[in-house]
Structure 1
Amino acid sequence: MFIQLNTMTLYLPHALPVAERLRQEGATVMTYVPQKWNELPVEPGKERLRILFLNLMPQKEVTELDIARMMLQTGLDVQLILMKLSGQTYKTTPMDHMQAFYTDFEDLDAGQFDGMIITGAPIEHIGFEEVRYWRQLCEVMEWAKSHVRSSLYICWGAQAGLYYHFGIPKYMLPSKMFGIYDQDVYDVALPLLQDMVPSFPMPLSRHTEVRATDFPKTGGLQIIAGSVDAGVAMAIAHNGREIFTVGHLEYEPNTLHNEYQRDLAKGLPIELPKNYYVDNQPEAGVRFQWEEAARCFYRNWLNHYC
């Protein structure tokens, strides 16, 4: 589990179960009424960032906790605003949860925000235009250009963002890229990767990839981290207005273990996650080697780009 920093306050929707969990871990968490997200008073002399969170993952509460913990690594006061796409249904999260804690994009689109996070989704095998909410997602990504200081796209979200903004396709991999991969930093002076040079470990769990050969030579898009084994890891565009990461620095130590056990139980083809278990033995436990990289990345993003 990530160690919480107690020098800041995180603001979450009122009665969100994750809030109480974080308090039990020692975090300072305050709440706000989702319908009145823009009425939260600001204390004189204190800055608070407004971060939108479009959670496309199936296990909403797990991802809520992951991202909330990342916000707690930064030392900054953050209001995390949970956003949803109107008219969508959810197989693994009760609709009551979504209605109580998430706000429709249409009820947010008049605001200005410091940051936005768009997560991945387990739909890599589907073409982008075939995704049922693709039109709505495109609307959000276009809107963000003028209403969000910096947007962070994660995993499938990064692939979707690269496709929408730059026309970069995704390709199916012969087998799932699964485990912890060291990523080389290509721009050591970039504030986003401060204290992460010359390389950093990052969890990967994906069936598709983007390729450096498809990246345009002009247009403001720069690959900033990657590796021979795993390809493109991170990219940045327009001085940080869009940031793309195909991995999951936000993952808790046991997330890949749980995925591995789930796929084994389902009889799906799955290999042992690479560079993950102590001595490559599941019974020996997990090597939680990306904690510091995750803390640095999210701290740098919020401090330098949001």
Structure 2
Amino acid sequence: MPIRVPDQLPATDVLRGEKIFVMSESRASSQEIRPLRVLLLNLMPKKIETETQFLRLLSNSPLQVDVELLRIDNRPSKNTPTEHLDTFYRQFEGVKDRNFDGLIITGAPLGLVQFEDVIYWEHLQSIMNWAKEHVTSTLYVCWAAQAGLKLLYDLPKRTRKEKLSGVYEHFIHDQHNPILRGFDDTFLAPHSRYADFSPEYLSEHTDLDILATSDTAGVYLASTKDKRNVFVTGHPEYESKTLHTEYVRDLAEGMEPAIPVNYYPDNNPDNAPRATWRSHGHLLFSNWLNYCVYQQTPYDLDKFSEANFTTDE
């Protein structure tokens, strides 16, 4: 089934070129079906690039998904045209009286910034608190995972001395957990962060189910037992050249970054990187949509109630 997006969204042509079934709003309005409503809060600077990456992952499911784009505030963007933001993005005030099946909060380039110094920190907290009563399942990605842990468990910001950048091997911890259904025992996934997520620390200070970890990168995937909050510390949405773009950018800024681990063939940045994480990225989002959202959400979103949710125990 397709994802439903605004008719003129730039991602539409990109995804159709990849033979992904994208349905325009005008066509979807004539269908008698209850699509899943998913809100994408895009905190990344290059919003067009990021929205395309996430829409690509949301498309690989038999479920019809109606995606709405949300911005954190109305400040001008250096990397996204104002016309694009005004046309395709909503302000929180325009959606806060509605319920949604799913919410995705992206990462943000704020790894070395303290939460209280983030200009929109209070507003982000308001949105995450709102989601408790208006969203079936929220997916926190990379920096947003750190922010979500602060909100839900009051965990302080934990920062690595050096940036974690590369593609790392991960091990699953519970092959019968629905979020991991179909996963191999080990899989690869990219990371690009300063945040520190050690399994020991999360196990000691939270009641989260730790689902997948890396010996080097720490926790990759965790969730609350009712699956209403899912934390992904890496970037399954990244395209094959995204880490390369970040590496070249950091070089140009004189940051002397380390070469991303296990990314370039022969560890040589002159060699074109290959995506080795794409299949598990698609599977993760498909499982989240199915088991955390579709299987849990009420058919009538107006009847949303926390009492509807169950755990695996």
TM above 0.5, one fold?
yes
1:39-80 deviations in Å (ceiling 9; x for gaps): x64733x44111100000011011011001001122321111
Q: Per the alignment, do residues 198 and 286 of structure 1 end up closer, same or farther by CA in structure 2, a change over 3 Å counting?
A: same
List aligned pairs for 1:1-306, cutoff 5 A.
Answer: 8-32=1-25, 41=29, 43-44=31-32, 46-215=33-202, 217=204, 220-306=207-293
Q: Per the alignment, do residues 42 and 216 of structure 1 end up closer, same or farther by CA in structure 2, a change over 3 Å counting?
A: farther
With the length of structure 1 as denominator, give the TM-score of the two structures: 0.90
SS where residue 63 of structure 1 aligns?
helix
C-alpha displacement at 1:90, in angstroms?
Answer: 2.0
C-alpha displacement at 1:305, in angstroms?
Answer: 0.9
Letter in structure 2 aligned against 1:250:
E
1:105-126 deviations in Å (ceiling 9; x for gaps): 1111121111110001101111
Contact 2:199 2:213 in 1 (8 A): no
Q: Tell me what 2:299 maps to.
A: none
Letter in structure 2 aligned against 1:137:
L
C-alpha displacement at 1:170, in angstroms?
Answer: 2.5
With the length of structure 2 as denominator, give the TM-score of the two structures: 0.88
Contact 2:4 2:67 in 1 (8 A): yes
Q: Distance in 1 between matches of 2:206 and 2:198?
A: 17
Q: CA RMSD in A?
A: 1.8
C-alpha displacement at 1:304, in angstroms?
Answer: 0.8
Give identity over the alignment, percent.
39
C-alpha displacement at 1:236, in angstroms?
Answer: 0.3
C-alpha displacement at 1:222, in angstroms?
Answer: 2.1
Q: Distance in 1 between matches of 2:4 and 2:96?
A: 20
Q: Distance in 1 between matches of 2:260 and 2:72?
A: 33
- Structure 2 unaligned spans of 5+: 294-313
Q: Distance in 2 between matches of 1:133 and 1:203?
A: 27
Q: Distance in 1 between matches of 2:124 and 2:144?
A: 10
1:147-185 deviations in Å (ceiling 9; x for gaps): 111100000011000111111223221211110011111
- Structure 1 unaligned spans of 5+: 1-7, 34-39
Q: Distance in 2 between matches of 1:47 and 1:105?
A: 23
| Deviates further, 197-206 or 283-292 | 283-292
SS where residue 100 of structure 1 aligns?
helix
